[in-house]
Amino acid sequence: MDTASICLGSGAVEFWDSRPVEGTIKNVTVSRQGQHWFVSLQVEMAIADPVHPATAQVGIDLGIATFAAFSDGALHPPINAYRRVAKKKARMQRRLARMVKYSCNWKKQRQRIAQLDIRIANCRHDFLHQLSTATSKNHAVIVVEDLQVKHMSKSARGTVEEPGKHVAAKSGLNKAILDQGWGMLRGMLAYKQAWRGGAVIAVHPRYTSQTCPECGHVAKANRVQQALFACVACGYTYHADVVAAKNILALGHRERLNACSPR
């Protein structure tokens, strides 16, 4: 890693050149994260259309107890980056609330909380980057759920005239949903597949956890437990999240066939 310099309005500033710059620089963005500064270079270059080296396809079911279940049977547990330090952050915030506002100790405590938030984000990003990179390298087609995270994590508090129900439970669920980074994973898969010449297909997850992949029977009773699927029609049993991933992959196949068929 070498040092280089970049010219800003106030003069030249040195930075660590983490990778060689290819192409023509079109835009430079300087940002700050905590006590650290970063520079991002946007370049323009001509590249050939990539061809994905793999031929495998996979469906992915996202959840909270199991972060990602693949249609080939692989299960990836969640990292829960925020939940692991939630109590520590709450203590730090209570301590901050007892301090004199804008005092030196107050500013130091705010900085400690900011550093903890950065560590949470870094842990989540590292986990998602590793999973998305491995998945993109090994699969030419990836089918994911078209999850509306914004609506799923909407508050259940309601209004004064119409108060919500089970507000505390829904609040905990919302925190768990936002802690996973489902939308971030989908975005990472999309641009990494574009780099490699692969494809990402988003399908509606309706009834994917209640449909038998063997006989096609759809029933709420098929979902015996959170992690167990047992078809009441043919008796097929398997991990419920993997069953959902298999159905998601099948939906992706149908969407590709419909898109390719002549009108």
Catalytic annotation, pick one of 61, 117, 146, 255: 61
Q: Is 102 left (phi over 0), alpha (psi -120 to 50) or beta?
A: left
Q: Is 17 a catalytic residue?
A: no
Catalytic annotation present for 241 = yes
Torsion angle of alpha carbons 166, 169, 173, 175, nearest 10°? 110
Residue 224 main-chain phi, psi, to 5 deg? -65, -50
Cα(259)–Cα(16) distance, rounded to whole angstroms?
46
- The active-site residue out of 17, 49, 145, 214 is 145
Among residues 22, 44, 146, 241, the one annotated as catalytic is 241
SS3 8: strand
Cα→Cα distances 131→51, 60, 180, 192, 196, Å: 21, 12, 13, 11, 16
Question: How many Å apart are CA 68 and CA 78, to the nearest integer?
Answer: 8
2 part of the active site:
no
The rounded Cα 37 to chain-centroid distance in angstroms is 25
In the three-class reduction of DSSP (H, G, I as helix; E, B as strand; rest coil), residue 159 is classed as: coil
Residues assigned a catalytic role = 61, 145, 241
